[in-house]
Amino acid sequence: MGNRLFRKKSIHLLIAETADDGKGLKRSLTAISLIALGIGAIIGAGLFVRTAAAAANNAGPSVTIGFIIAGIGCALAGLCYAEFASMIPISGSAYTYSYATMGELMAWIIGWDLVLEYALGAATVSIAWSEYLNKLLSYFDYHIPYEFCHSPFEVSTLGAHGIMNIPALFIVFLLTLLLIKGARESSLVNGIIVLTKVAIVILFIAFGWSFINPINHTPFIPESSIYVDGQGVSHNFGGILGILGAAGVVFFAFIGFDAVSTAAQETKNPKKAMPIGILGSLAICTVLYILFSYVLTGVASIDDFRNAGKEASVTYAIQTYMTGYGWLGKLVTVAILAGFSSVILVMLYGQSRVFYSMSRDGLVPKLFSDVHSKYRTPYKSNMLFLAFVGLFASFVPQDIVGDMTSIGTLFAFILVCIGVMIMRKTNPEIPRQFKTPWVPVVPILGVIVCGAMVFGLGWANWARLLIWMGIGFIIYFAYSIRKSKLNKK
């Protein structure tokens, strides 16, 4: 049994599977497409919502430093992802890398874990998309009835009971159809969305810079204290602990760049394009995040974030302090909707490609790797995840599944960092178009920084992760270990 649990998939077999025999996924993406894919996944609710939350509860204006720390953690992991993506250009991301370095059981664990990041992440964001759609409709004096944009477990302050979140299901359905049509078409739509929201972020930075009030940045790092928010939750505010807490909060804003690596088998020149896509999208977003957070905390005060603006703090700051730019506040709402849409698109894309790889290895049923005869996309996998994600989006409240996304992501980052060190020892002869610099220093630092953010997420989230993993182990030992294609080799 032990040998079966830790059997590894040959690197040479993995590379052989990348050959385009006309029956696999269609290669249509370029390095520019991958950068847009990465930005599409990264810039979303995190920037517009998490920035204000971290400033209010944890760090004040020094949330900017929190973004730098979170960006460093992601960059360290991103360098490791880039080496793997250039060496093993296969759909599957951290799942595939773990299979080659740490064996089948660990590959299953990370593959099952990625469902938290991609599928449940998509469900969470689609629920938020529904909320902001109502906000946009309110500008036109219209709203969707509470019953049809909330889950059955939610009740409004006026006593209305939710029935089904129809807008959340609608956006998941629409984007799934787009993914079935093809990666190239999805990439085109994602590119348009990316241009829209990046343009609005740049507009806010450019116009908001002249409205920065130096008083709001004084002191830049507040003194250490305990802040109790409106829900009675205590937070370390100010000082080093406050900045680290802010880094953990705004880490949500970086989730998604690793989804670029799931597109390897649909990329024209993956060994060259994958590192450019991963590191390029991460670099662009980190610079935008630092500038955005600096301007936002300069325009509005900590009290504004805590008491008046809250989740809509960006719009509040514009409408309250940036005289003559009310139109920009409405555009921010559009940018948030666009950001949510592209995040959902990339999450659904990444999930179907991970299960595509797991299906080819025999760990999940064959239908997950069935490719459409015309579009050459894993359409059955897309449709099954439409049902799975749509179920959560329609009938489950957002806060139940939201925090689990980060743990899944950070766990994947840690395993990829460890995997790079293992591969340098076990397979030094494999050609690498891109090499992670300063190994083992960079991977070890990646493990430490990501591990610190995992520690900060708390035991409640770890309990949920253990339950989810328990379900995964049942499936693996009841089905996957027997059906694995390595049994036949």
Full pLDDT tens readout for the chain, 489 residues: 556 777 887 767 766 665 554 555 666 677 888 888 788 778 766 677 778 888 988 888 999 999 998 888 888 888 888 888 777 766 666 788 788 888 898 889 888 888 777 887 788 788 878 877 887 888 888 889 988 888 887 777 778 888 899 999 999 999 998 888 865 666 677 677 778 878 888 999 999 999 999 999 989 999 988 888 765 667 788 888 888 888 877 887 787 777 676 666 677 777 778 788 888 888 898 999 999 999 999 999 999 888 876 666 788 888 889 988 888 888 888 878 887 887 788 788 888 888 888 888 889 998 888 887 777 788 888 898 899 899 988 887 655 555 577 777 788 888 889 988 988 888 888 777 778 889 999 999 999 988 887 776 667 777 878 888 899 999 999 999 989 888 765
Please say whether the beta carbons of 322 and 211 come within 8 A.
yes
d(CA 369, CA 378): 6
Task: Give pLDDT, residue 199.
Answer: 86
Angle at alpha carbon of residue 249, lines to 257 and 149, rounded to 5°: 80
What angle, rounded to 10 degrees, do the helices at 104-138 and 94-101 form?
170
Query: Looking at the DSSP assignment, which residues form a beta bridge with residue 225?
Result: 237
Residue 197 backbone phi and psi in degrees, to 5: -75, -30
Task: Give pLDDT, residue 457.
Answer: 67
Give 360's Cβ-side CA count (13 Å radius). 23
**DSSP reduced 3-state for 245:** helix
d(CA 150, CA 166): 8
> What is the residue whose two structure tokens read 């996957």?
480
Cα dihedral sign for 479, 485, 488, 489? negative
Task: Give pLDDT, residue 9.
Answer: 76
Count other Cβ atoms within 10 Å, centred on residue 217: 15
Q: What value does the CA radius of gyration of the chain take, rounded to a whole number of Å?
A: 22
**DSSP reduced 3-state for 149:** strand
Give the contacts of 48 (CB within 8 A, at least 6 positions apart): 314, 332, 335, 336, 339
Q: How far is CA 183 from CA 25, 62, 218, 484, in A?
A: 9, 39, 48, 28
Region of 376 (left: φ > 0; alpha: ψ -120 to 50; beta: rest) is left
d(CA 27, CA 30): 9
**DSSP reduced 3-state for 469:** helix
In the chain, where the domains are located: 2-488
Task: Give pLDDT, residue 27.
Answer: 67
Find the DSSP H helices in 89-238. Answer: 94-101, 104-138, 166-181, 183-208
Please say whether the beta carbons of 200 and 335 come within 8 A.
yes
> What is the residue whose two structure tokens read 């995190």?
46
Please say whether the beta carbons of 457 and 407 come within 8 A.
yes
Task: Give pLDDT, residue 62.
Answer: 93
Nearest-CA neighbor of 412 among 104, 39, 83, 116?
Answer: 116
| Topology of the domain covering 2-488 | Amino acid/polyamine transporter I (1.20.1740)
Strands (E), 40-103: none
**Which helix H or strand E contains 179, and what residues bound it?**
helix 166-181
Nearest-CA neighbor of 109 among 487, 468, 488?
Answer: 468
Query: Looking at the DSSP assignment, which residues form a beta bridge with residue 165?
Result: 149
Exposure string of 45-80, with b = 16+ CB inside 10 Å and e = fewer, is bbbbbbbbbbbbbbbbbbbbbbbbbbbebbbbbbbb
Cα dihedral sign for 64, 262, 371, 483? negative
Task: Give pLDDT, residue 452.
Answer: 82
Task: Give pLDDT, residue 472.
Answer: 92
pTM over 0.95: no
Give 119's Cβ-side CA count (13 Å radius). 23
d(CA 120, CA 126): 10
Angle at alpha carbon of residue 306, lines to 304 and 311, rounded to 5°: 90
**DSSP reduced 3-state for 227:** strand
Query: Looking at the DSSP assignment, which residues form a beta bridge with residue 228?
Result: 234
Nearest-CA neighbor of 246 among 391, 71, 371, 469?
Answer: 71
* Helices and strands of the chain, counted as H and E runs: 21, 2
Task: Give pLDDT, residue 21.
Answer: 47
Task: Give pLDDT, residue 279.
Answer: 84
Task: Give pLDDT, residue 262.
Answer: 65
Strands (E), 177-250: 225-228, 234-237
Torsion from C-alpha of 43, 44, 50, 52, nearest 10 degrees: 90
